[in-house]
Amino acid sequence: MSHSTPPSAPAGAPWRGAIAYGCDYNPEQWPREVWELDADLMVEAGVTMVAVNIFGWAHINPADGVWDFEGLDAVLDLLHSRGIAVNLGTGTASTPPWLTTAHPEILPVMEDGTRRFPGGRQAWCPSSPEYRARSLDLVARVADRYGDHPAVALWHVSNELGCHNALCYCDHSAAAFREWLRERYATIDAVNDAWGTSFWSQRYGAFDEILPPLATVSSRNPSQVLDFHRFSSDALLAQYRAEQDVLRKKSSVPVTTNFMVTAHIRNLDYAQWAPHMDVIANDHYLDHRLADSEAEMHFSADLTRGLAGGEPWLLMETAVGAVNWQPLNSTRAPGELRRHVFSHVARGADGIHFFQWRASLQGSEKFHSAMLPHAGTQSRAWEEARDLGSELAAVGELAGTRTEAHAAIIFDWPSWWAVDGESVPSSHVRYLEQVHAAHAAMSAAGVTVDVVPATADLSRYSLVIAPAWHVVSDAAAGALDEYVQGGGHALVTFFSGVVDTHDRVRAGGYPGAFRDLLGVVVDEFAPLPQGDTVTLESGAQATLWSERVTLRGAMAQDSFVDGPMAGGAALTRHSYGAGTAWYCATALGPAAYADLARQLADQAQIPRIGGANARVTAVRRSGENGSYVVIANSSSQPACVDVRGTNLLTGQPWQPDTALASGDVAVVREEAA
Ligand code: GLA
């Protein structure tokens, strides 16, 4: 990566040489007599690391100027006495009521100008000076007290920063936004130029006239909205870095926070955050609102690894069964948890942690699953969680190895914000769906991909896919150009390269930044009504989009038979330098996309594991210890996968004709060649 790659397991980390196993633990919700029992059961379940003090602020600081660490002292000592490492929360995630009563200006303001009330969680403005000062005071006290406690193995800054409060429109945010703009643009003329304020009489005479993009009567300035997204992500990153600075002064323990690489949280540009983490950590929950929640889970893990520069990372939260925050909270089918946990391990997770240890009896998460559900140890959840502890211990030698990927998909948060923004050619085109479609096609072709930020070093890949990469800097476009000229293979899909980083259209025809690379020029978009399908000459079905493509060096590989662009090219291929660049001017259906993925993988000579596909996943991790293939069979049939070695979960030999039962998992240590 061009940014500094975060180390996977800092010296002394408990997950070095083992897969860390654990959970969030909220002992403040339980009477003391339960704590001892909890610690004993944790040992029984094979728990090695536990996150505490995530929402501890009101407990250790019950009133202004009053501090009480006695409970947390006891918890840390208890866990340490059982050999369990602590992932210690700084406790800043949620403010206590006394603080927002004294300083209501801490509370965030929404797009419509209304202020939110306390009573939930994370009700603070990321740019509030009062919140910043109070939270850093808390961090300093926690770090002073526990900075060299022998149980503390990792610092957990705040919790899911920006989960609820990422976009705040209050006066403090407005002032901080102006400051951010001043630093970025220096002069008001430069802001006017970047935002194209000649349009609709939006010209600013001074920085003081600028507001966050609050709700308007019409559509808003898209460049302003894009910059506000960047600012808001930076504001929370600044909170992270401020807490990290305090911790670093008082402790040598590595620092992280839990990302939310999910389908429904898009406000944080984690490409900017990743270089600041000592280890990348992610929270992932199956989203049953999606058509294929398991595919999204694979995608999320591949993107988390991409953010980690290919290094191992930690799954900081997932659910044993159901969550409590979807309209219908489905549980996991028997065996599904195990398969999903190993899917994360396959994709580079060196730690598996659940939210949470013991199911709450009160509060809005009382129906969220836990390792220890309301029923206690007489439950499937407990048995599965306990069995997983010993299985993860059995594959500890995997820790530290790297997932092998020869292909990459570019993921870009500003493109997500812009493509899903207002005033676009089609509100039915959703960025994430386009990226997911590319990922699904590669999975169907049995290809493991790193999903990487636009700044990633592409030279390590044989194939790069850029789906709907809409907002592109000259430098990033140049890097893809250079990659192909140097012999790489690339596929770029529609609505890519259209605007620069200010959301300003690149004149001269679409796909602007990639015209030369792709050898095509497009003079008009013709998005399709939702549900309409067009047919291509090959018989492929496509939806959502068409456009008029003129060839400027590329060869048509497929064309529209019907729809508004009938007769025109839909898929093109351009020999460019020593490489090849493909362009797809429509949204291919899953079967056609998978065929294309296979063709590209063959052309790029990507090694694939025989038998692997979207439902029978086989992912290789390798390193000093050796080479391993993690196989998970989500299909309804037994499956064979073309590897040889020993299944670490059973101790049995594995041959290409060994059948893995439907729903089962294997971790095969490959025979040395
Ligand atoms: C997030 C939070 C946890 C908990 C879970 C519930 O991941 O970090 O505190 O609320 O969601 O799924």
- What's the CA gap between 639 and 466, in Å, rounded? 32
In sequence order, the 6+-apart residues with CB closer than 8 A to the CB of 291 are none
In sequence order, the 6+-apart residues with CB closer than 8 A to the CB of 336 are 663
Helices (H), 199-313: 222-250, 270-273, 293-307
- What's the CA gap between 57 and 54, in Å, rounded? 8
Burial class (CB in 10 A: 0-12, 13-18, 19+), 474: exposed
| Residue to substitute in 52, 285, 317 for testing ligand 1 pocket (most ligand atoms within 8 angstroms of CB) | 317
Q: How confident is the model at residue 17 (pLDDT cuts 50, 70, 90)?
A: confident
| Whether 209 contacts 107, CB under 8 Å | no
Q: How confident is the model at residue 16 (pLDDT cuts 50, 70, 90)?
A: confident
Position in ligand 1 atom list of the atom nearest CA 283:
7
- What's the CA gap between 269 and 412, in Å, rounded? 8
Residue 297 CA to ligand 1 centre (angstroms):
16
* Percentage with pLDDT > 90 across the chain: 96
Over residues 162-190, the pLDDT tens digits come to 999 999 999 999 999 999 999 999 999 99
Among candidate residues 20, 5, 81, the one with its CA nearest the CA of residue 50: 20
Residue 366 CA to ligand 1 centre (angstroms):
12
Smallest CA separation from ligand 1 atom 12, residue: 323
Smallest CA separation from ligand 1 atom 5, residue: 355
Over residues 42-64, the pLDDT tens digits come to 999 999 999 999 999 999 999 99
Mean pLDDT of 606-617: 97
- pLDDT over 60 at 498, yes or no: yes
Residue 511 CA to ligand 1 centre (angstroms):
40
**What's 109's DSSP letter?**
B
- What's the CA gap between 552 and 560, in Å, rounded? 18
| Whether 257 contacts 277, CB under 8 Å | yes
Smallest CA separation from ligand 1 atom 4, residue: 355
| Residue to substitute in 160, 314, 357 for testing ligand 1 pocket (most ligand atoms within 8 angstroms of CB) | 160
In sequence order, the 6+-apart residues with CB closer than 8 A to the CB of 527 are 425, 426, 428, 429, 544, 545, 546
| Site residues for ligand 1, CB cut-off 6 Å | 159-160, 283, 285, 317, 323, 355, 365, 368
pLDDT of 12: 55
Encoded tokens for 548: 């008029």
Q: How confident is the model at residue 9 (pLDDT cuts 50, 70, 90)?
A: low
| Residue to substitute in 165, 264, 320, 365 for testing ligand 1 pocket (most ligand atoms within 8 angstroms of CB) | 365
Encoded tokens for 465: 């896919």
Position in ligand 1 atom list of the atom nearest CA 319:
12
Handedness of CA 103, 105, 109, 114 (dihedral sign): positive
Between CA 362 and CA 369, with CA 367 as vertex, the angle to 5 degrees is 115
| Residue to substitute in 283, 285, 356, 369 for testing ligand 1 pocket (most ligand atoms within 8 angstroms of CB) | 283
Q: Which one is predicted more confidently, 466 or 334?
A: 466
Residue 319 CA to ligand 1 centre (angstroms):
9
- Gyration radius (Cα) of the chain, Å: 25
| Whether 407 contacts 394, CB under 8 Å | no
Over residues 360-378, the pLDDT tens digits come to 999 999 999 999 999 999 9
Asked if omega into 356 is within 30° of 0 (cis), the reply is yes
| Whether 305 contacts 32, CB under 8 Å | no
Q: How confident is the model at residue 11 (pLDDT cuts 50, 70, 90)?
A: low
Q: Which one is predicted more confidently, 9 or 15?
A: 15
- pLDDT over 50 at 3, yes or no: no
Position in ligand 1 atom list of the atom nearest CA 55:
9
- What's the CA gap between 211 and 113, in Å, rounded? 11
- The H or E element that residue 588 is part of is strand 587-588
Q: How confident is the model at residue 672 (pLDDT cuts 50, 70, 90)?
A: confident
481-498 burial, b at 16+ Cβ within 10 Å, e below that, comes to bebbeeebbbbbbbbbbb
- What's the CA gap between 11 and 289, in Å, rounded? 40
Residue 355 CA to ligand 1 centre (angstroms):
6
- CB atoms closer than 10 angstroms to residue 347: 27
Smallest CA separation from ligand 1 atom 10, residue: 365
Place of tokens 């529609």: 494
Mean pLDDT estimate for the chain: 96
Residue 324 CA to ligand 1 centre (angstroms):
9
Position in ligand 1 atom list of the atom nearest CA 325:
12
- pLDDT over 80 at 13, yes or no: no
**Is the overall model pTM greater than 0.85, yes or no?**
yes
- pLDDT over 50 at 491, yes or no: yes
Over residues 99-141, the pLDDT tens digits come to 999 999 999 999 999 999 999 999 999 999 999 999 999 999 9
HSE value, Cβ hemisphere, 13 Å, CA-based, for 73: 7
Place of tokens 């792709």: 518
- pLDDT over 50 at 657, yes or no: yes
Encoded tokens for 346: 């396959």
Provide the terminal-to-terminal Cα distance of the chain, rounded to the nearest Å. Answer: 30
- pLDDT over 80 at 320, yes or no: yes
pLDDT of 15: 67
CA distances from 81 to 44, 78, 148, 565 (A): 14, 5, 16, 70
Q: How confident is the model at residue 625 (pLDDT cuts 50, 70, 90)?
A: confident
Encoded tokens for 617: 């996943």
Amino acid, res. 231: F
- What's the CA gap between 195 and 569, in Å, rounded? 34
* Percentage with pLDDT > 70 across the chain: 98
- pLDDT over 50 at 252, yes or no: yes
pLDDT of 394: 96
List 243, 296, 311, 317, catalytic entry: 317
Residue 250 CA to ligand 1 centre (angstroms):
28
- What's the CA gap between 232 and 657, in Å, rounded? 53
| Whether 475 contacts 486, CB under 8 Å | no
Cα 395 → chain centroid = 25
In sequence order, the 6+-apart residues with CB closer than 8 A to the CB of 52 are 24, 25, 26, 27, 72, 75, 76, 79, 86, 87, 88, 89
φ and ψ of 66, to 5 deg: -105, 130
pLDDT of 7: 45
Smallest CA separation from ligand 1 atom 11, residue: 355
Position in ligand 1 atom list of the atom nearest CA 260:
7
- What's the CA gap between 53 and 57, in Å, rounded? 8
Residue 278 CA to ligand 1 centre (angstroms):
22
pLDDT of 38: 98
| Whether 512 contacts 481, CB under 8 Å | no
Position in ligand 1 atom list of the atom nearest CA 258:
8
Q: Which long-range contacts (CB under 8 A, 24 or more apart) does 141-145 make?
A: 141/60, 141/67, 142/53, 142/60, 142/88, 142/90, 142/91, 143/90, 143/246, 143/247, 143/249, 143/250, 143/251, 144/250, 145/69, 145/73
Q: Reply yes or no on whether 160 is catalytic.
A: yes
Beta strands in 66-193 (DSSP E): 85-89, 152-156
- What's the CA gap between 451 and 329, in Å, rounded? 28
| Whether 551 contacts 572, CB under 8 Å | yes
In sequence order, the 6+-apart residues with CB closer than 8 A to the CB of 165 are 108, 122, 123, 124, 125, 126
List 160, 294, 311, 433, catalytic entry: 160
- pLDDT over 90 at 8, yes or no: no
Position in ligand 1 atom list of the atom nearest CA 323:
12
